[in-house]
């Protein structure tokens, strides 16, 4: 039940963002302003910083980090739950986001693109990947210590910074990155509830290892 609520809320929010894009109202009123600001005020130093930040939402960073976390969790707990969870979040988010991009087909901002970017603009792939994967990493890692809840806060902060970097680099609208964050966080939370990584009011469907771990 909780997982269904998460999915419904995500659909409503993404749909609302799309409606603001079509109408040019709401959050979409800031799309052009933010895109212009990032392009106009870019310097070599600021661009270098934003490029470093945006890499935190790339597969070249996320895949190795998620692999290390999965291996570490296996060594500590000897069950496959975290491995399945991280794999489903990482692969599923990418597939879901690409499907949404094809369905929406939005053009990228007509400003200077300070990094290479291809494909459609809505939702932001880097933002969705950062939101889902860093939160998944934090949820797995926090199982190792009851005092590690701060990791979730850090994960949310990293995702927000990656989202901001995509607008500052001129490759996404504000509504693109907001949609990416919603898609990423919702996808991660949905599977965290279903697989029992976080508690839910309904019994979680858990994947256990053959030895009964």
Question: What angle do the packed helices 59-77 and 125-141 form, to 10 degrees?
Answer: 20
Residue 113 among the catalytic residues: no
Cα 129 to Cα 48, 102, 132: the distances in Å are 21, 17, 5
Neighbours of 47 (CB within 10 A): 17
Is the predicted pLDDT of residue 123 greater than 50, yes or no? yes
Tell me the C-alpha distance between 163 and 157, whole Å. Answer: 10
* d(C-alpha 122, C-alpha 174), whole Å: 10
Q: What fold does the segment set 2-194 form as a domain?
A: Vanadium-containing Chloroperoxidase; domain 1 (1.20.144)
Chain centroid to Cα 59, Å, comes to 12
pLDDT above 50 (res 201): no
Are residues 6 and 107 in contact, defined by beta-carbon separation less than 8 angstroms? Answer: no
Placement of tokens 């771990």 in the chain: 213
**Half-sphere exposure of 167 toward its Cβ, with a 13 Å CA cutoff?**
21
Euclidean distance between CA atoms 50 and 132, whole angstroms: 20
Catalytic-role residue among 101, 126, 142, 166: 126
> Which of 22, 29, 17, 53 is closest to 168 using CA atoms?
53
Backbone angles phi, psi at 198, to 5 degrees: -120, 150
* Active-site annotation holds for 172: yes
At 112, give phi and psi (nearest 5°).
-65, 125
Cβ-in-10-Å burial (0-12, 13-18, 19+) of 146 comes to: exposed
Out of 31, 128, 172, 194, pick the active-site residue.
172
Domain range summary for the chain, segments of one domain joined by +: 2-194
Q: How confident is the model at residue 199 (pLDDT cuts 50, 70, 90)?
A: low
pTM metric for this prediction: 0.87
**pLDDT > 90 fraction of the chain, expressed in percent and rounded:** 60
Give 35's pLDDT tier (boundaries 50, 70, 90). confident
Q: What is the mean pLDDT of the chain?
A: 88
Per-residue pLDDT reduced to its tens digit, 153-172: 999 999 999 999 999 999 99
* Whether the predicted pLDDT of 210 surpasses 60: no
């Amino acid at each position: 039940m909780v997982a269904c609520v998460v999915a419904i809320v995500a659909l409503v929010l993404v749909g609302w963002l799309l409606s603001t894009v079509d109408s040019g109202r709401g959050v979409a009123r800031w799309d052009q302003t933010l895109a212009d600001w990032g392009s106009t005020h870019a310097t070599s130093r600021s661009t270098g910083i934003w490029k470093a930040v945006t890499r935190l939402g790339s597969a070249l960073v996320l895949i190795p980090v998620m692999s290390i976390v999965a291996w570490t969790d296996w060594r500590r707990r000897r069950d496959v739950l975290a491995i399945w969870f991280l794999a489903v979040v990482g692969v599923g988010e990418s597939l879901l986001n690409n499907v949404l991009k094809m369905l929406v087909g939005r053009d990228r901002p007509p400003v200077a693109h300070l990094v290479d970017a291809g494909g459609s603009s809505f939702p932001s792939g880097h933002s969705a990947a950062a939101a889902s994967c860093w939160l998944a990493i934090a949820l797995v890692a926090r199982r190792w210590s009851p005092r590690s809840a701060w990791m979730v806060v850090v994960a949310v902060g990293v995702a927000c910074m990656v989202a901001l970097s995509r607008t500052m680099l001129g490759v996404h609208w504000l509504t693109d990155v907001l949609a990416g964050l919603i898609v990423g966080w919702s996808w991660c939370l949905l599977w965290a509830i279903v697989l029992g990584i976080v508690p839910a009011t309904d019994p979680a469907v858990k994947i256990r290892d053959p030895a009964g771990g």
